Copies of this chain bind each other. A is one copy, B any other.
Amino acid sequence: MEKHVVKMRDEDNVAIALHDIAKGTRIEGGITVNDNIPQAHKVALVDVPKGGSIFRYGVVLGYAKEDIHPGDWINEDSLILPKSPELHELEYGTNVDAKLPEPTRTTFMGYDVPGSEYAGTRNILGIHTTVQCVVGILNVAVEQMKKELLPKYPHVDDIVVISHGYGCGVAIDAREAYIPIREIRNITKNPNFGGQLMVVGLGCEKLTPDRIMDPEDINDDNFLSFQDHHGFKAIMAALFEMAEKKLKVLDQRRRTELPLSKLSVGFQCGGSDAFSGVTANPAAGYASDMLVSAGGTTMFSEVTEVRDGVPFIANRVLDKPNCDKLAKEMSWYDDYLKDGGVDRSANPTPGNRAGGLSTIVEKSMGSIAKSGTAPISQVVSAGEIPTKHGLIFDATPAGDFTCGPMQLASGMGLEVFVTGRGTPYNLEAAPVIKVCSRTDLKEMWQDLIDINAGTIATGEKTIAEVGREIFEKIVAVASGEKPVAEDLGLFNDIVIFNPAPMT
């Protein structure tokens, strides 16, 4: 039989139309639909008496205005909205007992980093910068290093410059300056750089090395300042000398079989469509649950997107300190937007409603879906390094190229990126796996998408099946397989999140 609807969770009493369904059509479970149901909209699966709860993603979207019958179309007119709790009233720990899917494997082939919680998925010489001014010479040096040095060290995958637009012309002691500074500092610690540190500065910039390096690391082995060297040729020679020392060490590294507890994976979505929350995000969430179940660490992020679903993040947080931190991060972002004269949109847009999203909560739940059902073991500020394993909420902006570098700072070895409309986004320092929400996009962008979750909508596969496929791809990529964007050599710039003034 043709597949008409998909249910997000067992406890849901609605399902989502995979295509426009004509009134009178007989769908799964022997239900006959009582209205014309537009694609991506909700249809009732059971009787819900007036005042009864409507569940999607396992959460209450609203209460029935009138008695609802199986096959009814449920839209914003059918629902009385639940009161959204204030940030200071969030409840934690009330939804932390989800049964997680079994992982199909428990190890991967990674690069262990002595003293680090996480292992690398790549073996990269990262060259970090205190300021944009040095990037011109550095790029010339690295282009030449890739030709002349890298072939001598075949066990090193790449040399990557962490180029950014911060470091000078900034109010370095501004209230919010700690955010970009922490990000740049923690990127140096990403496990894909194997614990080797190489930082390049100019000499008169405001972001001095002590702001991004530990005191014991600031020495001539790890830090090089252009103004200490006699011109271009001398700078080039110094860069080559330092790089070669680091390459020699990195070249000794080998992949070994490691438990998945050594792996950290970032999850985000971008260019979302009405199906992202139906197919790809729930499948990514399933994969996340499998990883957590295997002892791994997964991070989800995107504060502005999940903001209206925050009670359903809070109720998965294990303890009060992390719940308080969640509230604080949300509140910080509320204030930041308000300071910029921006209002958080209070309702779904007409486009969202047409796409079947009846409430702002439902919209956020589509994004939150990629976090699966696991309890949240820790909430960290944007770019902080978690100290716990399991599911982490990393409170970053939602913008794709702002979120990615922040997750890099938080230690991810690779990223899973869910897309509806399609993006070729990738990071040079950590591979990005692309999962699309619709078969249309996979067909259109065959050579840019790794996994098609649109098969959930066509009925070819279940959420669990695609979830397992994503999990297997994560393990493969963590073990060295190149996702399409890495294979094509597509790399985006590092865009640092700087909410403080530029001077």
With beta carbons under 8 angstroms apart, the residue of B174, B342, B493 that contacts A165 is: B493
Which residues of B are found within 8 Å of A497, using beta-carbon distances?
502
With beta carbons under 8 angstroms apart, the residue of B204, B226, B424 that contacts A232 is: B424
Known contacts A202-B271, A397-B502: does B136 contact A230 (CB below 8 Å)? no
- Stretch of A63-71, A309-317, A439-447 at the chain-chain interface: A439-447
Q: How far is A139 from B424 in the complex, measured between Cα atoms in Å?
A: 12
Which residues of B are found within 8 Å of A445, using beta-carbon distances?
230-232
With beta carbons under 8 angstroms apart, the residue of B132, B422, B502 that contacts A499 is: B502
Q: Are B226 and A422 in contact (CB under 8 A)?
A: yes
Known contacts A137-B424, A231-B448, A493-B493: does B401 contact A503 (CB below 8 Å)? no
Chain B: minimal CB distance from A225 (Å): 11
Which residues of B are found within 8 Å of A446, using beta-carbon distances?
230-231
A445 closest partner in B (C-beta)? B231
**A22 interface hit (Cβ, 8 Å):** no
Which residues of B are found within 8 Å of A137, using beta-carbon distances?
424, 488, 490
Which residues of B are found within 8 Å of A139, using beta-carbon distances?
490-491
Q: Are B492 and A136 in contact (CB under 8 A)?
A: yes
- Stretch of A41-49, A212-220, A333-341 at the chain-chain interface: A333-341
Q: Mark A414-431, 1 if CB is under 8 A from B, else 0.
A: 000000011111100000
Q: Mark A210-247, 1 if CB is under 8 A from B, else 0.
A: 00000000000000001100111100000000000000
Q: Mark A331-358, 1 if CB is under 8 A from B, else 0.
A: 0000011011110000000000000000
Q: How far is A203 from B401 in the complex, measured between Cα atoms in Å?
A: 16
**A133 interface hit (Cβ, 8 Å):** yes
Which residues of B are found within 8 Å of A135, using beta-carbon distances?
492-493
Q: How far is A336 from B502 in the complex, measured between Cα atoms in Å?
A: 9
Chain B: minimal CB distance from A271 (Å): 4
Chain B: minimal CB distance from A456 (Å): 21
Of A133, A170, A446, the most chain B CB neighbours within 10 A belong to A133
Which residues of B are found within 8 Å of A339, using beta-carbon distances?
339, 501
Which A residues from 160 to 214 make CB contacts under 8 A with B? Answer: 163, 165, 168-171, 173-176, 202-204
Which A residues from 466 to 490 make CB contacts under 8 A with B? Answer: 485, 488-490
Q: Are B171 and A424 in contact (CB under 8 A)?
A: no
Task: List 12 A–B pairs whose Cβ atoms lie within 8 Å, in order of A's numbering.
Answer: A132-B400, A132-B495, A133-B423, A133-B424, A136-B492, A171-B337, A204-B423, A231-B445, A231-B448, A336-B501, A340-B500, A340-B501
Which residues of B are found within 8 Å of A80, using beta-carbon distances?
none
Known contacts A133-B401, A165-B495, A503-B397: does B340 contact A174 (CB below 8 Å)? yes
A131 closest partner in B (C-beta)? B401
Which residues of B are found within 8 Å of A496, using beta-carbon distances?
165
Which A residues from 83 to 109 make CB contacts under 8 A with B? Answer: none
**A134 interface hit (Cβ, 8 Å):** yes
A426 closest partner in B (C-beta)? B136
Q: Are B503 and A304 in contact (CB under 8 A)?
A: yes
Chain B: minimal CB distance from A144 (Å): 11
Of A233, A491, A492, A497, the most chain B CB neighbours within 10 A belong to A492
A133 closest partner in B (C-beta)? B423
**A398 interface hit (Cβ, 8 Å):** yes
Q: How far is A422 from B234 in the complex, measured between Cα atoms in Å?
A: 14
Chain B: minimal CB distance from A451 (Å): 15
Q: How far is A133 from B232 in the complex, measured between Cα atoms in Å?
A: 33
**A78 interface hit (Cβ, 8 Å):** no
Extra inter-chain contacts (11) besides given A134-B424, A136-B485, A337-B501, CB under 8 Å: A132-B400, A132-B495, A137-B488, A139-B490, A168-B400, A204-B271, A226-B422, A231-B444, A231-B447, A233-B447, A399-B502
